[in-house]
């Protein structure tokens, strides 16, 4: 289909991206060193052991700058162990942003606690500190913070609220391993951190997760919860000691050692590899400064903040600067140019039926409020930013290598579409009702 005033690829023009696919998007970077480490564990049949895992924990704790690190079989298990470690139990409430992957919130179900969702800030895409305090009740025990798409949450204001109300802060660092907030490593500011290390994340080792903390009590409770074989004399707490050798939670959260050895190798190169990602991603956005409608979701690194691995990078979309063009149509035109662009973020959790009506365990009421002393379920319209944000955000290419020429071509695709947005308005069907879903942000 051609268009009189447009040379956009979607109208039959030449594509902005002409370089054939290179390894610029390849992740994780796997070398012979990773392969040999995995083979060595396989050959000695040590897949279910803990020797490599314990070395990985020590190395990770030292890199993270915390006293303790506990490896788990996935990030979900690490987050649930963090919640249990903080003492979250029946009738308690936690506050969590509605825009996140489900594992930031759902592990409280099995602990008998309830989740209260808060809105997000439209620029950081992280929990909005201004939307926390009025949601605190006598039963609130913790705030779960997610450094969404690598962007550090507003920790100073969040910690001030937590200290005022004596709440624990659990950082979900699944998107932001190694990122800095005012020079401090993400995951070391709250009481405990839980993070995923599954293959799609910026710190990617296979299925795996990590809990880090400086608090001995949280560490011991987390270990006793899902690591029966390590729940032994090393656990000193008098409350836990009588139950040694069996997991308190009835869960088994041991990390697979093929994951731990990959983690040990990946950790050696992680800082250097994400430094290159930062250079590449910042260059991409520098190329797009002053383009109307498209705004970077990034931090000013001069303030000692970083996005570390830039997990699933996104941009902020302002349709009013592009004649009202929908992000759906915009993204379609960018993809036609040969680049990567998808509308939206995760869908808001507070609207999913699992969080409004499902009775999972037979309490004869929604599991979300099975033990709650008030009805916490809120409807459409209750978290306005979270409910709109998918129409105001777009995924961008996640460059792992700094290549000036290739990144410029991709930036050109975005600039070209924004410049010719008027030619896209006629055939713009608008955003569909189901723009994204809860479990995957359709990145590349
Ligand atoms: C991926 C992810 C998790 C869960 O980690 P798994 O390793 O997949 O269990 C938790 N929180 C967030 C924000 C995530 O993106």
Pocket mutation for ligand 1, best pick of 97, 100, 149, 174 (most atoms within 8 Å of C-beta): 174
Q: Where are the alpha helices (DSSP H) in 204-346?
A: 216-226, 257-286, 327-336
Instruction: List all residues 6 or more positions away from 379 whose beta carbon is below 8 Å from its beta carbon.
Output: 351, 356
DSSP secondary structure code for residue 241 in this structure: G
Q: Count how many residues are written for the chain.
A: 444
Q: Which of 320, 353, 313 is nearest to 443 (CA)?
A: 313
Distance CA 106, CA 125 (A): 20
Q: Is 398 in the pocket of ligand 1 (CB under 6 A)?
A: no
Burial of 436 (0-12, 13-18, 19+ CB in 10 A): buried
Q: What is the pLDDT of residue 2?
A: 61
Q: What is the pLDDT of residue 91?
A: 97
Q: Which atom, in ligand 1's list, is nearest to the CA of 207?
A: 7
DSSP secondary structure code for residue 127 in this structure: B
Q: What is the pLDDT of residue 440?
A: 62
Q: Would you state the structure tokens that stand for residue 94, as one six-digit string?
A: 């936690």
Q: Which of 358, 231, 264 is nearest to 33 (CA)?
A: 264
Q: Is 175 in the pocket of ligand 1 (CB under 6 A)?
A: yes
Q: What is the pLDDT of residue 60?
A: 98
Q: Is 209 in the pocket of ligand 1 (CB under 6 A)?
A: yes
Q: Which atom, in ligand 1's list, is nearest to the CA of 76?
A: 9
Beta strands in 1-139 (DSSP E): 68-72, 93-97, 114-118
Q: Which residues of the chain have pLDDT under 70?
A: 1-2, 440-444
Output the CA 196–ligand 1 centroid distance in Å.
Answer: 5
Burial of 96 (0-12, 13-18, 19+ CB in 10 A): buried
Q: Is 104 in the pocket of ligand 1 (CB under 6 A)?
A: yes
Distance CA 90, CA 98 (A): 21
Q: What is the pTM of this model?
A: 0.97
Tokens 């993400």 — which residue? 186
Exposure string for 349-380, b = 16+ CB within 10 A, e = fewer? bbbbeebeeeeeeeeeebbbbbbbeeebbeee
Q: Which of 295, 264, 309, 281 is nearest to 402 (CA)?
A: 281
Contact 398, 310 (CB under 8 A): yes
Residue 114's beta-bridge partner residues? Answer: 93
Q: Would you state the structure tokens that stand for residue 346, as one six-digit string?
A: 């995760």
Q: What is the pLDDT of residues 406-441, one digit of tens each?
A: 999 999 999 999 999 999 999 999 998 878 777 766
Contact 210, 71 (CB under 8 A): yes
Residue 357's beta-bridge partner residues? Answer: none
Q: Where are the alpha helices (DSSP H) in 306-376?
A: 327-336, 353-356
For ligand 1, atom 5, the nearest C-alpha belongs to: 75
Q: Is 193 in the pocket of ligand 1 (CB under 6 A)?
A: no
Tokens 């992680």 — which residue? 270
Distance CA 165, CA 153 (A): 19
Contact 300, 183 (CB under 8 A): no
**377 by DSSP, 3-state: which?**
coil
Q: Is 185 in the pocket of ligand 1 (CB under 6 A)?
A: no
Q: What is the pLDDT of residue 439?
A: 72
Q: What is the pLDDT of residues 38-79, one digit of tens each?
A: 999 999 999 999 999 999 999 999 999 999 999 999 999 999
Q: What is the pLDDT of residue 20?
A: 80
Q: Is 172 in the pocket of ligand 1 (CB under 6 A)?
A: yes
């Amino acid at each position: 289909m051609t268009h009189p005033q447009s040379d956009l690829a979607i109208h039959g023009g030449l594509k902005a991206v002409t370089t054939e696919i290179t390894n610029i998007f390849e992740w994780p970077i796997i070398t012979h060193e990773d392969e040999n480490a995995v083979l060595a564990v396989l050959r000695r049949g040590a897949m279910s052991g803990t020797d490599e895992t314990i070395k990985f924990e020590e190395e990770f704790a030292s890199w993270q700058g915390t006293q303790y690190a506990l490896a788990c079989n996935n990030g979900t298990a690490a987050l649930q162990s963090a919640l249990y470690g903080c003492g979250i139990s029946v009738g308690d409430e936690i506050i969590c942003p509605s825009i996140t992957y489900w594992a930031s919130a759902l592990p409280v179900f099995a602990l008998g606690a309830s989740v209260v969702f808060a809105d997000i800030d439209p620029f950081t895409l992280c929990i909005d500190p201004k939307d926390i305090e009025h949601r605190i009740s006598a039963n609130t025990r913790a705030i779960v913070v997610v450094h969404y798409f690598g962007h550090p949450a507003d920790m100073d204001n969040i910690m001030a609220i937590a200290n005022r109300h004596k709440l624990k802060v659990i950082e979900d660092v699944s998107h932001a391993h190694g990122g800095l907030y005012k020079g401090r490593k993400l995951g070391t500011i709250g009481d405990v951190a839980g993070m995923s290390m599954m293959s799609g994340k910026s710190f990617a080792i296979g299925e795996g997760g990590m809990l880090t903390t400086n608090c001995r009590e949280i560490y011991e409770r987390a270990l006793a919860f899902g690591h029966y074989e390590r729940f032994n004399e090393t656990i000193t707490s008098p409350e836990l000691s009588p139950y040694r050798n069996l997991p308190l939670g009835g869960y088994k959260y041991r990390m697979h050692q093929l994951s731990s050895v990959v983690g040990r190798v990946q950790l050696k190169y992680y800082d250097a590899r994400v430094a290159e990602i930062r250079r590449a991603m910042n260059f991409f956005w520098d190329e797009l400064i002053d383009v109307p409608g498209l705004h970077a979701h990034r931090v000013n690194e001069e303030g000692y903040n970083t996005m570390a691995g830039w997990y699933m990078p996104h941009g902020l979309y302002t349709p009013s600067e592009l004649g009202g063009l929908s992000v759906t149509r915009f993204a379609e035109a960018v993809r036609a140019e040969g680049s990567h662009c998808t509308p939206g973020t995760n869908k808001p959790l507070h609207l999913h039926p699992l969080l409004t009506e499902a009775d999972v365990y037979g309490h004869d009421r929604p599991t979300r409020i099975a033990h709650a002393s008030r009805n916490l379920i809120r409807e459409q319209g209750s978290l306005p930013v979270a409910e709109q944000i998918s129409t105001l955000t777009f995924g961008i290419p996640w460059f792992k290598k700094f290549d000036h020429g290739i990144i410029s071509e991709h930036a050109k695709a975005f600039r070209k579409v924004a410049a010719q947005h008027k030619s896209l308005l006629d055939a713009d069907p608008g955003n569909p009702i189901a723009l994204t879903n809860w479990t995957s942000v359709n990145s590349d």
